[in-house]
Structure 1
Amino acid sequence: MTGLTTFRRDPVATAFAGAFALLPSSAAVIFYSQGFFLGPVTEEFGWSRSQFMGTVTMALIALAVLYPLVGRLGDRFGARRVLVPGILLFGFGMMSLSLVGDNLPLYAVLTILIGMAGVVQSPLLYSMVVAHRAPLRSRGKLIAICTTGVPLGNMAIPPLVVWLIAEFGWRGARVGLGLAILFCALPVALMFMGDARERIKSVSEKTRSAALSVISRRPGVLLLSAIFLSGLALNGFLVSLVPMVTDRGLLPSDAARILVVAAVAGVFGRIGAGWLLDRVQKPQIGVLWYIAGTIGIGLSFYPGGTLVLTIGSICLGLALGAETELGAYYTSRFYDRKHFGEVLGLLSCCYTIGGALGGQMFSVFFDQFGDYVLASIVAAVLVAVSAVLLLALPPYPTLSDDQAH
């Protein structure tokens, strides 16, 4: 029993378990898979595409707003007590969509509630536990391993949904997604996500700033601003990448391959960010990924074919992959662990809202000017501004010996 308990609390095992749990993340289930349900559902009920996607947008906004609250609940009650009921609601809620008929208001309400429950299936609480357990020398790397489950799930969930719809219809696919959530996340939450709260209470961290003062302190203002602006620019560009590719006369299959390349680069972006953050003890190291994002957007102006766009998508994927990792690591270094979830929740909220507004920004620019050139220029400038904000971060607070282990 002692050996099993030690394994369940081991930071490396916790990181890999968290990655497995995040394969059916809220991003993969709510955002990346919705395009495959759009056609079958709207054809069966006669809804417009804007009506269907409107429910998804509302669900994402509800999810974003709840990030700080869920983070605070995790700080107060421990990650497991928040994860388990949230996972159950998310999984069974997804299955319940298979029972909805031609009733758009009911479908919208259920989708919003599912989005609210889905906030637990984000890196927020999983990375919180990893950060609390991991020693300083490997904290960045282990957080990166944990959050890598998100891009891996973004690659795996869409093909799974396509297969489920082909074999069992869209209703069966909803049930399949719900089962995937319960199968991957629930055992991990029960086995690996306990006891972090007790460990936090035993650690004295008087040198850190409190979460409630995050807006008024220099690191908080800089991080919130950088995360919001980069989320708006990078995610807005990513959402618009497919029409950019097809507008150049390339095939949709070319666009799909470019997106896959970006997702794969995102995995390496996270791992690379973790590796460097552990070795370079200066917060300015995060600028490297924003530079990569600026280059990725800039390459979209070059009148080349798939090769140039692929290289640009690699740079974009590296930057997007590091975003979550940077937020979690910076939170663990600048703020008291007792408020880790709340601070990271604020950052996640800003990032998600920024991403939602970014897609809208690119659409507005296209409607006004007939292309994405000006929107891309604005996005590149915003990412560059984010890099400048990270350059202005102060040094990490000095840690005592018990804080570093």
Structure 2
Amino acid sequence: MDDAKFPRVAIPILVGAAIMLGLSMGLRQSLGLFVQPASRDLAIGVSDFTLAIAIQNLIWGVLQPFAGILAVRLGFRAVMVGGAVLYALGMLTLSLAGGAATVMLGAGILVGAGMACTAGGIAMATASRAVSAARRSGVLGMVSAAGSLGALVAAPLGQMLMEQFGWRVAVFGFFLLALTILPAAWMAGRVDRIALPQASAGENSARAATRLALRHPGFLVMACAYFVCGLQLVFLTTHLPSYLNLCGMDPMLGAQALALIGAFNVAGSLFFGWAGGRWPKGVLLGGIYFCRSIILGWYFLLPPTPESTLVFAALMGLLWLGVGPLVSGMVAEMFGLRWQAMIQGFAFFSHQLGSFLGAYGGGVIFDAMGSYDLAWKLGVAMGLTAGVVQILVAWPRHPLGRPPERQRALPA
């Protein structure tokens, strides 16, 4: 894109993408608040509710590449608006749930399908197309940062409504917020008017792009490490409120922690978006996984206090969605823009397999053992391993970490 046209053309698209990303991520990240009260009210197990969230993550991951293909075929606007409708219907269904089946339909299937069309991969691909390559990493960081504000609003609002009126009214409040995704998706859909660079308009097919991605060693390592990222984050968003409740903490503390993660995520996303334009993105990505695992181990080794929980949330927030601009930037550098959403969707499928294990596996371990000890220890060990491997592979002097201009890639 011509930088002289940047404000007039790109800003409405970026604002719409940020609002869409913020609401879809913020509402979904706050569903952990309802695990205990909804399970008791519906007479279902904790693992039944967390299975729905696990299925949500799995469906999101499975459908993400197909959403990317549809965005190329039908346009981003059609995909994002359709996803916004599914997302809102999912929240409405959850608020009316009568048992495990309707929890699965609402929180699992419908929200998962909506996320595939409105959240990370699609939103970041939209932002990537709206700006020049020189601006891309910083702008992706800004969109990710603005998108982080959703949890800052959703978690405290959900907890407040639940304390005053019950969990069903709180989820219905989430449904009303989800309706706001519709106009945001429509505005972000203006990106369909922006023509790709001529080199991107070639005859490269989805099959050719897929074949190239699945043969790229650097991409495969990044996708495998992304599995652990999903496991850690969704374990926290699903089980942290329940863990704090078991430890006798104030129920509002869980909501405050999730909100604080969202607040500090703004600074983290901005920093890693800026840093990704200056240093190897893969090394930064591995550093996030390694540091995040150290912080997880520190927190769960000690008895939680309100102070330690809020410090933990702030530190995790700094390392939360900073992965977004790094992964999106790496995919754009490796393979170009035309099939970015689809290829990023393949990596994200790995992330969501980890998310499934983090949500459901954490619930199964808790139901079987009455504690989260084994779950967090596994998450820490896997995170340390993923971080070290990602850093070694992405190190500039390593053959798999060579600069993007020397990599075989699709046209930009």
Q: TM-score when scaled to structure 1?
A: 0.80
Aligned partners of 1:38, 1:309: CA distance in 2, in Å? 19
Correspondence for 2:227: 228
Task: Decide whether aligned partners of structure 1 residues 369 and 41 sit closer, same or farther in structure 2, where only a CA change above 3 A counts.
Answer: closer
Correspondence for 2:405: 398
Aligned partners of 1:85, 1:18: CA distance in 2, in Å? 15
Correspondence for 1:386: 386
Task: Decide whether aligned partners of structure 1 residues 368 and 118 sit closer, same or farther in structure 2, where only a CA change above 3 A counts.
Answer: closer
Correspondence for 2:199: 203
Range that drifts further, 314-323 or 170-179: 170-179
Following superposition, the deviation at residue 287 of structure 1 comes to 2.9
Deviations 1:141-176 (A, max 9, x none): 211222234432122123333555678776665554
The question of 1:29 aligning with 2:27 is answered yes
Q: 1:192 aligns with which of 188, 199, 203?
A: 188
- CA contact 1:297–1:380 (8 Å) conserved in 2: yes
The 3-state SS of whatever aligns with 1:210 is helix
The 3-state SS of whatever aligns with 1:160 is helix
State the AA in 2 paired with 1:378: L
Range that drifts further, 347-356 or 267-276: 347-356
Range that drifts further, 240-249 or 111-120: 240-249
Aligned partners of 1:383, 1:238: CA distance in 2, in Å? 17
Correspondence for 1:278: 277
Correspondence for 2:398: none
Task: Decide whether aligned partners of structure 1 residues 351 and 75 sit closer, same or farther in structure 2, where only a CA change above 3 A counts.
Answer: same
Range that drifts further, 188-197 or 58-67: 188-197
The question of 1:132 aligning with 2:139 is answered no
Correspondence for 2:336: 336
Following superposition, the deviation at residue 93 of structure 1 comes to 5.1
Deviations 1:225-274 (A, max 9, x none): 11012322344355444455566665545554444333322222211110
The 3-state SS of whatever aligns with 1:347 is helix
Correspondence for 1:324: 324
Task: Decide whether aligned partners of structure 1 residues 189 and 101 sit closer, same or farther in structure 2, where only a CA change above 3 A counts.
Answer: closer
Correspondence for 1:298: 297
State the AA in 2 paired with 1:223: M
State the AA in 1 paired with 2:331: T
Alpha-carbon RMSD across the aligned residues, in angstroms, is 3.8
Correspondence for 2:267: 268
Following superposition, the deviation at residue 281 of structure 1 comes to 4.8
State the AA in 1 paired with 2:30: Y
Correspondence for 1:58: 55
- CA contact 1:126–1:193 (8 Å) conserved in 2: no
- CA contact 2:47–2:363 (8 Å) conserved in 1: no
Q: Where do residues 351-370 of structure 1 align in structure 2 (5 Å cutoff)?
A: 351-363=351-363
Aligned partners of 1:238, 1:247: CA distance in 2, in Å? 15
Range that drifts further, 127-136 or 109-118: 109-118
Aligned partners of 1:177, 1:396: CA distance in 2, in Å? 44
Range that drifts further, 89-98 or 117-126: 89-98
State the AA in 2 paired with 1:232: L
- CA contact 2:239–2:362 (8 Å) conserved in 1: yes
Following superposition, the deviation at residue 92 of structure 1 comes to 4.4
Aligned partners of 2:104, 2:297: CA distance in 1, in Å? 38
State the AA in 2 paired with 1:199: A
Correspondence for 1:87: 84
Q: TM-score when scaled to structure 2?
A: 0.79
Following superposition, the deviation at residue 275 of structure 1 comes to 1.1
Aligned-pair identity (%)? 21
Following superposition, the deviation at residue 67 of structure 1 comes to 1.2
- CA contact 1:235–1:358 (8 Å) conserved in 2: yes
Task: Decide whether aligned partners of structure 1 residues 214 and 158 sit closer, same or farther in structure 2, where only a CA change above 3 A counts.
Answer: same
Following superposition, the deviation at residue 18 of structure 1 comes to 1.6
- CA contact 2:150–2:262 (8 Å) conserved in 1: no
Unaligned 5+ segments in structure 2 are: 395-400
Task: Decide whether aligned partners of structure 1 residues 398 and 245 sit closer, same or farther in structure 2, where only a CA change above 3 A counts.
Answer: same
Aligned partners of 1:54, 1:301: CA distance in 2, in Å? 23
Task: Decide whether aligned partners of structure 1 residues 330 and 167 sit closer, same or farther in structure 2, where only a CA change above 3 A counts.
Answer: same
Following superposition, the deviation at residue 388 of structure 1 comes to 2.4
- CA contact 2:57–2:355 (8 Å) conserved in 1: no
- CA contact 1:269–1:322 (8 Å) conserved in 2: yes
State the AA in 2 paired with 1:397: P
Task: Decide whether aligned partners of structure 1 residues 31 and 376 sit closer, same or farther in structure 2, where only a CA change above 3 A counts.
Answer: closer
Aligned partners of 1:20, 1:242: CA distance in 2, in Å? 25
Following superposition, the deviation at residue 31 of structure 1 comes to 4.9
The 3-state SS of whatever aligns with 2:214 is coil
Correspondence for 1:217: 216
State the AA in 1 paired with 2:196: I
State the AA in 2 paired with 1:200: L
State the AA in 1 paired with 2:273: G
Q: 2:69 aligns with which of 62, 72, 75?
A: 72
Q: Where do residues 167-178 of structure 1 align in structure 2 (5 Å cutoff)?
A: 176-178=173-175
- CA contact 1:262–1:316 (8 Å) conserved in 2: yes
Unaligned 5+ segments in structure 1 are: none
Aligned partners of 1:101, 1:300: CA distance in 2, in Å? 34
Correspondence for 1:350: 350
- CA contact 1:77–1:197 (8 Å) conserved in 2: no
State the AA in 2 paired with 1:186: L
Following superposition, the deviation at residue 50 of structure 1 comes to 5.0
The 3-state SS of whatever aligns with 2:61 is helix
